[in-house]
Amino acid sequence: MRFSIYRYNPETDQKPYMQDFDVDIKEHNCVMVLDVLLVIKNKIDESLTLRRSCREGVCGSDGMNINGKNGLACISHLSLLKEPVVIRPLPGFPVVRDLVVDMTQFYEQYDKVKPFLLNDNPAPAKERLQSPEERAKLDGLYECILCACCTSSCPSYWWNPDKYLGPAALLQSYRFVSDSRDTHKEERLADLTDPYSAFRCRGIMNCVDVCPKDLNPLEAINHLKEDMLKETV
């Protein structure tokens, strides 16, 4: 099976280029894209650079663009891909080397939404309780693995990465806005009322299409906008 992989080493290359590899996927027992990349790195070209860890779609470290669509290499089935399989780094981020991108801006935007519980009330002896109904509101929000597949597929983030928070960060913002244990809902919403933080979302649904955990960042962003409107009224 043929694979065309984006290569760029800023220390030696003047510009990026695509390099083709032919891999016998049956001989090497390759099922997922990550299997092939590891075969290439371990047996063909050890200079190939990528991130990976759990191999189970949990850590989110091996996000990349595969045949034009963002996804996790470890859960992208080779049987579903057309040849040649074109593999590029996540779009919208500076490339460090080959398939590794600089996610500094992504994590800075994530940090801005204060992705942790804020509660001004004295801590109880055991835990802050929720009803089953309150807990159910968090389903589809807490499962995000911060792989950045959604954010790096969003044109609004490409245009304003320093101002627009992006779908991953906004999904986490709504996760705490909707948490019954958090007492800073008004403050969180107020931080998003400028023209860029949340309202740069254009609803094109790229984020929903590429999420490996089948989450819906667009729905969360729309809920944030609705809550902001209610606060102003």
Average pLDDT over residues 204-209: 96
Say which residues have a Cβ less than 8 Å from residue 222's Cβ, sequence separation at least 6. Answer: 203
pLDDT for 86-102, tens place per residue? 999 999 999 999 999 99
Quickly tell me which residue has 């091996």 as its tokens: 62
pLDDT over threshold 90, residue 231: no
Q: Token pair of 214, please? A: 């089948």
Q: Name the helix (H) or strand (E) containing 21.
A: strand 17-22
pLDDT for 141-153, tens place per residue? 999 999 999 999 9
Please tell me whether residue 87 adopts helix, strand or coil conformation.
Answer: strand
pLDDT band at 203 (very low <50, low <70, confident <90, very high): very high
Q: Token pair of 172, please? A: 């986490």
Please tell me whether residue 69 adopts helix, strand or coil conformation.
Answer: strand
